Structure 1
Amino acid sequence: MAEDRPLNHDEMLSVLDWYRAAGVDLAVGEEPVDRFAQRPPARVTLPNVPGPAGVVDRPAEPLLLGGDPSEARSLAASAQSLVELERLLGAYDGCGLKLRATQLVFADGNPEAEIMLIGEAPGAEEDRQGKPFVGKSGQLLDRMLGAIGLDRTKVYIANTVPWRPPGNRTPTPEEMALCLPFLHRQVELVAPKLVMTLGGPAMQTVFSTSNGIIKMRGKWSDVSFGNHEVAAIATLHPAYLLRNPAAKQQAWRDMLSLKLRASELGLL
């Protein structure tokens, strides 16, 4: 049996790193808490500010806790290049995902490519390396691209969310609302002629739908990213294909559809 002793500094850091990788981001007390019995937090408002002669010149407003989507839209719209957009996004503190992630995962591939791939969010390996699709699913994606004559020098790869959610969970609607303006500006600046989404959450975000990936995959639609309209198609996420090899046949048909459309446009 292991010795029951206090952990040293390095051991405590290892344990905390393990908890972070597992998605644990909330400390709990010794006694259980009945969350259903708790009252919702009181609405916090800013006080009225009296002006001259006691006239109130600003009404009380709700105090926004967390990021402001309008700030994200303003920042994203101000970027005139991908380099500037990455810098602005790296300095942006409005999304809480940044506080738990190791680093920003902005993009990979060729920023001048005319084919863009969009995934959901970084995983653990992507969080460590700072690039999208570099783990086992990334290796499979590289093979999928190679099978139709593409590689990372011919495509541009990004995610709907640039920071890893704890435990690889799906980003919340609030987190998506804060990150989406940056994705839209990213697509505008790249201005691809074709877009492929990878996985259900990315498909639902890009196509603005609640439909499942099985129903939507393989179908071309025109999608708008700000002022840029582009033909887009959805396919299954490589991580899903690793867990369900039988689905590779469906993904292969989607890749062939991408190859055909790219050939028609003279991109291959």
Structure 2
Amino acid sequence: MSRRAQFLEVLGIPTEWLPREPRAGQAQPDAAAQPAAVPAAEPPAAVMTAPAAAAAAVDYPEALPDAAVAQPAADEQVAPEPVPAGPGAADVQGEREAAIATMDWPALDAAVAGCTACGLCRTRTNTVFGVGARQAEWMLVGEAPGENEDLQGEPFVGQAGKLLDNMLGALGLARGRNVFIANVLKCRPPGNRNPEPEEVAQCEPFLRRQIALVRPRVIVVLGRFAAQSLLRTTTPIGKLRGTVHVYEGIPVVVTYHPAYLLRTLTDKARAWEDLCLAREVHDRAGAGA
């Protein structure tokens, strides 16, 4: 047995490490460029310590069998610390909705005025709570405040508001007497853009509570976005019109937004048909009360 083989046997390495065969197409190493092997001195077997043997074994990693690689014992592995479970976003939103569902008018008004549940609170001038009789038989729901509404804190002002007042007057209604007017959102989206789903989700509990407090006989929804948000649908407004829907047990009639009617005069006749349908629904609900 050669001296090198004896040295490997002392280290518990039965097989001597050999260079790998070069892969196909790989250049052969230049033998002249390789350093000459220097025979290792044979240390006394009795003096070889465990740390020294381990250090020597590192020079021949491919000769070590799999069992020689130290693995931590199963009972030595430290399990990660459990993360305390906190209230999830769904739980927080559920608690918020439950609290809003118990509010009276003053508490609800204050909650809307101080709401910071979404980013619209950072760009609004005023919240737009709603206006009108709080025990009205008619309730109108629009999309969101515009620029004028944001400045005045009241829904449907400006030219669209004047048109709406004229439409209500034709039915014998007035915003300060026998109708309550509100929006899906209480804050103006910047640039009058469409509301985001998260904004609607945060604001809807306010509208739901307003409807529960007013308890109207009929709800008239103004515009595509308000209709789709309230009824939770993606059906176009043209197909939602002419049909009586239901929200929280209350009949709902869908019609066009007054701002749209200012741009599309030909649809005013259709809007009047919708209001006549709402009047029929209101009268039937009154007869059955």
TM-score by length of structure 1 reads 0.72
Deviation at 1:59, TM superposition (A): 4.8
What is the total number of aligned residue pairs between the two structures? 206
Out of 122, 129, 135, the residue aligned to residue 99 of structure 1 is 122
Deviation at 1:60, TM superposition (A): 8.3
Say if 2:111 is the partner of 1:85.
no
The residue correspondences of 1:163-174 to structure 2 (distance < 5 A) are: 163-174=187-198
CA distance in structure 1 between the aligned counterparts of 2:275 and 2:81, rounded to whole angstroms: 65
Structure 1 contact 72–182 (Cα < 8 Å) conserved:
no
TM-score by length of structure 2 reads 0.67
Deviation at 1:69, TM superposition (A): 3.2
The residue correspondences of 1:106-255 to structure 2 (distance < 5 A) are: 106-152=129-175, 153-224=177-248, 229-255=249-275
Question: What is aligned with 1:58?
Answer: 84
Question: What is aligned with 1:75?
Answer: 99
CA distance in structure 2 between the aligned counterparts of 1:198 and 1:60, rounded to whole angstroms: 41
Greater relative contact order, per chain length (Cα 8 Å cut-off, separation 6+): 1
3-state SS of paired residue (2:101): helix
Q: CA RMSD in A?
A: 2.2
Structure 1 contact 75–88 (Cα < 8 Å) conserved:
no
Deviation at 1:186, TM superposition (A): 1.2
Residue by residue, what CA displacement relative to the aligned partner does 1:184-211 show, whole Å, maximum 9, x if unpaired?
A: 1111111111101000011001111101
Question: What is aligned with 2:66?
Answer: none
Structure 2 contact 135–213 (Cα < 8 Å) conserved:
no
Structure 1 contact 72–178 (Cα < 8 Å) conserved:
no
Structure 2: 5+ residue stretches without partners: 1-79
Structure 1: 5+ residue stretches without partners: 1-53
Deviation at 1:256, TM superposition (A): 1.0
Deviation at 1:262, TM superposition (A): 2.3
Question: What is aligned with 1:42?
Answer: none
Residue by residue, what CA displacement relative to the aligned partner does 1:49-98 show, whole Å, maximum 9, x if unpaired?
A: xxxxx963615898x7xxx633541331231x122111112222111111
Residue by residue, what CA displacement relative to the aligned partner does 1:206-263 show, whole Å, maximum 9, x if unpaired?
A: 1111011111012102221xxxx20111000000000100011110100111122223
AA of the residue aligned to 1:230? I
